[in-house]
Each structure stands twice: as structure tokens, then as C-alpha cells.
Amino acid sequence: MKPVSVGVIGLGFMGSRWARALAEHPGARLAVVSDVRDELGRELGDRYGARYVADPLEAAADGELAGIAICTPEHLHLETALAAIEAGKAVMVEKPLAHTVEAAEQIRARAQALGVPVLAGHILRFEPRYAAAARAIAAGEIGAVQAVRSERIGLVSDQEILRGRTSIPLYYGVHELDLLRWYAGDVERVCAERSEGVLRARGYDVEDLYSAVLRFRDGAHGTVMIGWSLPAATPGYGIAGMTVIGERGVVRVTQGELGIQHVGEGGLRDLDVHYAPEVHGRLWGALAIEVNHFVACANGSAKPLCTAHDGTEAVRLGLALEESAQAGVPVSIAKTGPPP
């Protein structure tokens, strides 16, 4: 099969990785890159033999492309996603699908109306441990899910890129809430609390940590703790884990030993072995699996495994956590009917 032409809009932390992984994929040709930073766009374009298109909306509608990966900051996904959908491209939108429920619903509605595949970029659905947990649960190996517990707490140094531009529920929350929906179904009610102070003292107008209790429509309950206030030197990029307890068993994704230690003069150093590790000069890990799936969506041989509906519901839940913590009351989640 002829390689499918794809593009990437937004070439920062995630977009540069998407660009590299797409350029390395034998079934894809990275034809277009776009960023508001001209120098960066031209440099990556030269490196991968891709055309640099300065205007993101022009890139989204570029006639050569079958697929577009949108990796701009969280509040900038809507306009480019809609432009790409209107132009009939397969679209990957990095998480969160959008920064408001209304914007996410707009993306979902246009994608559905035009029959365009939209992949919500929730990388953990492609991480082998989290996917193995989903397989075991779906196969009935632990029986009906009774309770879940998830946590993902990043580092104060996350703000070196984010600089207070988004919230914990929209940044880390959507990852965990999407997994919880995958494992235990739709959520009926959330009740959240939050703490602040560490990041405000550093000049960022964001909270530090959220904890929430969730009630699922199928009867399970669970908790989630998310945040980004751990010291920059915390090993393992912070804390992350998942426990799913069923009537006949349990599945756990634990952080545990990576089986590799790297110590330099500055102490322990993290090495990525799960998300985008480089092996023999090429990016692999969960990102490469996700990129491989997106290439299949772009060439028409697969349908998104994590849909615009999933992305919308993760945003709805994340913002419900914010609303609940702000108001100090439980928040009911609107029933949205069967996924399109």
C-alpha cells in the first residue's frame, strides 16, 4: 500500500514526537508540519522532508493530506480540528479533545455528521499494561467491576511547558477518567475536593491536587487522585497507578521497578521505557502503537479505538470534577445515550 500522507500541527513536546513517529512509520509520509513558531516549523520540515505551512488552518485543509495530528495547546484544538474535519481528513486530536464540553461536542457532532474518523489522543489506551487490563476486564476475567482506584500525580516541573495554561482535570484527569470509563463504564456522579498552594507560590494560577469519588451507572464506585505538585526530582515522572476490583478478581497497573537504573552525577535519572522510548534509532512504546493506529485510520483500514465521543465524555468528567470541587457539592453527569 502506498504510504498515506499526513501532517502535524503544533510541534512542541508532543507534536515533535508525533512528527518523528509519523516520519519513521513505513506506512506514512509526513508531508506537512505547522506551528506558529516559524523557525521550529522550518527546522522540523527540513529534518523530515515535510512542507512547512505557517497557517494552521491552511495546514488542516491541505489537499495532499489524508490525516492530521493536532498537537497544539489545549484551548486551541477546536478551530483546527473543525477545519480538518470539514476537509474530510482523519484527525488525531491530542488530549483533551477540547477545553470545554461545548467545544468537544462540536467536534464530535461534525465528525459524526461528515463521517470523518476522529481519534481522541488518549495514549494510555495504547499502553500495553492499561490495554491488557481492559482486555482482562472485557473478557470477564475479574467478573463485574465493583471498584476502581486511579492516580496520576506529576511534577512541579510540568509547568516549565504548561505555565499554568490548563487545569489538572483537563491535563492528567482526562487520561485517568477515560481509562475509568473504559474499565467501568459511564459515570453517574462525581464528588471532588482539591488543594492548592504549591504552584500558586511558584506564580502559576492553578491548583495542586484533586481527589474525587465516582459513582458509575453500572454500579461500581471508585476514586481518582490527580495532580502535578511533586518535587521535580521525584523518580518515575511522578506517581501513577490503577486498581480495578471485580467480583472474582483484581487487575492492577503498578508503577513498580522499571528493571533499569540510570544514575548520573546528579543522582537518579528517569528513562522512558513505556511511552516513547527510542530503540535502535526509532520511537516505539505506547506512542508508536497509537501512531500506527492513526495511520490505519488515515488509510481507511481502521476506525478510531478511542473516539470523539470518548474524548468528549472525558472532558465532561474532568470539568465536572472542577465544578464539584469549586462548589463543594456532588455533580451529576448528564446521560448522553449510546455512543455514535
Ligand X SMILES: NC(=O)c1ccc[n+]([C@@H]2O[C@H](COP(=O)([O-])OP(=O)(O)OC[C@H]3O[C@@H](n4cnc5c(N)ncnc54)[C@H](O)[C@@H]3O)[C@@H](O)[C@H]2O)c1
Task: For residue 273, state whether it binds ligand X (rule: CB under 6 A).
Answer: no
CA-wise closest residue to 214 among 174, 180, 178: 180
Q: Return the number of the residue (142 or 253) whose C-beta is nearest ligand X.
A: 253
Residue 339 Cβ vs ligand X, minimum distance, rounded to whole Å: 21
126 makes contact with ligand X (CB under 6 A): no
Q: Is 37 in the site for ligand X (CB under 6 A)?
A: yes
> Which residue in the set 4, 7, 10, 32 belongs to the binding site for ligand X (CB under 6 A)?
10
CB of 305 to ligand X, least distance (A): 15
Residue partners of 11: CB distance under 8 A and separation at least 6: 19, 33, 34, 35, 37, 40, 41, 44, 71
Grid cell, residue 148, equals: 476502581
Tell how strand 90-94 and strand 28-34 pair up.
unpaired
Q: Which of residues 156-185 bind ligand X (CB under 6 A)?
A: 161, 171
For residue 201, which amino acid is it?
A: A
**Number of amino acids touching ligand X (CB under 6 A):** 23
Q: Which range binds ligand X by CB under 6 A, 12-20, 82-90, 148-156, 230-238? A: 12-20
Q: How far is the CB of 278 from ligand X (least distance, A)?
A: 16
| Grid cell for residue 162 | 504548561
Q: Is 36 an interacting residue with respect to ligand X (CB under 6 A)? A: yes
Distance CA 183, CA 250 (A): 12
Q: Does 15 bind ligand X (CB under 6 A)?
A: yes
Nearer CB in complex with ligand X: 94/208: 94
- Which of positions 184-203 make contact with ligand X (CB under 6 A)? none
Of residues 222-251, those binding ligand X (CB under 6 A): none
**Buried b or exposed e, range 289-304, using 16+ CB within 10 angstroms:** bbbbbbbbbbbeebeb
Applying CB under 6 A, among 9, 145, 214, 298 the residue interacting with ligand X is: 9
Can you list the positions of beta strands (E) in 156-238?
187-195, 209-216, 221-230
Distance separating alpha carbons of residues 71 and 81, to the nearest angstrom = 10
Residue 11 in the binding site for ligand X (CB under 6 A): yes
- Enter the C-alpha cell of residue 199: 504552584
**Contact range with ligand X by CB under 6 A, out of 3-11, 177-185, 230-238, 253-261:** 3-11
Per rule CB under 6 A, is residue 90 in the interface with ligand X? no
**Residue 293 binds to ligand X (criterion: CB under 6 A):** no
Residues in 46-85 at the binding interface with ligand X, rule: CB under 6 A: 56, 71-74, 76
* Locus of grid cell 540510570: 262
- Please work out, in degrees rounded to the nearest 5, the angle formed at the alpha carbon of residue 104 by the alpha carbons of 99 and 108: 160
Residue where the block lists cell 456532588: 330
Cβ-contact 272, 306 below 8 angstroms: no
Residue numbers of the site for ligand X (CB under 6 A)?
9-15, 34-37, 56, 71-74, 76, 94-95, 121, 123, 161, 171
